[in-house]
Structure 1
Amino acid sequence: MGFATEFKEFAIKGNVVDLAVGVIIGGAFGKIVDSVVTDLIMPLVGLAIGGLDFSNYYIQLSGAPAATLAEARKAGAVFAYGNFLTVLLNFMILAFIIFLMIKQINRLKAANPPAPAPAAPAPTPEDVLLLREIRDSLKR
């Protein structure tokens, strides 16, 4: 089997397509969560702790003063703990939402168990087979 044929069979399998769809939806969902954290939650957290922009909490390691994180990064090394906390909160929210989704899926699976597979017919007993042979021989 050629490489191209083998790859085509692999790519067409349902699991690969499902995985691709999941990655695409996950990327879009990650952007939504990032926006919720950056645009809605972190401003409220910043307001609660002094009204400052939380993403601009940093320590300039190069010693050059800067007004914003972007300027500080241009000037040299920066310990951007505010940005890290924003990303960490983003991850925690995303992990919590995924946990809730998996919990719901597991609850639905438990409520609707799959139908049992039909039982295989039991093998015919030897005495029945013998009686069938006798009946067939008598018919001849």
Structure 2
Amino acid sequence: MKLFKEFKEFAVKGNMMDMAIGIIIGAAFNKVIDVLVKQVMLPPLSLLTDGVNFKDKKIILRDAVLEADGSMLKDEVAIGYGALGEVFLDFLIIGFTVFIVVKFMNQLKKKAQDTTDTTVVTPKDIELLDKLTKLMEEQNALLKSK
């Protein structure tokens, strides 16, 4: 019963909901990046390289072995470096996009924590900390003057 109570507290605090929302948005974002790479970026790149399809690029280690009737006896063994290139391009785009989003969020957070900026509502905890800091500075100034 204690485990259930702890799980309920965890779920109610929002940690679980934040994580679920992040996973859902991440999955949707992955689909967008996948289409962006495969349908938008790779076709012009393929055009520049005389129609080379990167997904089909591979190093064949062993050719496929066919029987006389054309059926497959042994499958081809190959290293698909073209698919690796696509995934690496996906990773770079996702990494860069996440970097831009985090940078933007940090700028907003920094702006929200600036108590002198009146264009953005300062969170209550930052406001209280600022007041506490100012009171401590006044108190230190009074102690130094004695």
TM-score (norm 1): 0.72
Moved more, 74-83 or 20-29: 74-83
Match of 1:44 in 2: 44
- Distance in 1, matches of 2:38 and 2:64, equals 27
Structure 2 SS opposite 1:116: helix
Structure 2 SS opposite 1:60: strand
Match of 1:86 in 2: 86
Q: Which has the higher strand share?
A: 2
Return the structure number with greater relative CO, CA threshold 8 A, min gap 6: 1
Match of 1:138 in 2: none
Count of aligned positions = 114
Match of 1:101 in 2: 101
Moved more, 1-10 or 40-49: 1-10
What amino acid is the match of 1:80? G
Deviation of 1:11 after TM superposition, in Å, equals 2.0
- Distance in 1, matches of 2:102 and 2:54, equals 31
Counterpart check, 1:33 vs 2:44 = no
Match of 2:21 in 1: 21
Q: Looking at CA atoms only, which structure, 1 or 2, has the larger radius of gyration? A: 1
- Give a deviation string over 1:22-61, Cα, whole Å, max 9, x none: 1110111011101110111111111111212111111121
- Distance in 2, matches of 1:64 and 1:43, equals 29
- Distance in 1, matches of 2:75 and 2:32, equals 31
- Distance in 2, matches of 1:47 and 1:12, equals 52
* Seq. identity, %: 36
Structure 1 runs of 4+ off > 6 angstroms? none
Deviation of 1:87 after TM superposition, in Å, equals 0.5
Counterpart check, 1:112 vs 2:112 = yes
- Distance in 2, matches of 1:112 and 1:6, equals 33
- Distance in 2, matches of 1:101 and 1:88, equals 20
Asked if structure 1 preserves the Cα contact closer than 8 Å seen for 2:64 and 2:77, the reply is no
- Distance in 2, matches of 1:78 and 1:42, equals 22
- What's the RMSD between the two structures over aligned residues? 2.4
Asked if structure 2 preserves the Cα contact closer than 8 Å seen for 1:43 and 1:54, the reply is no
Asked if structure 2 preserves the Cα contact closer than 8 Å seen for 1:10 and 1:16, the reply is yes
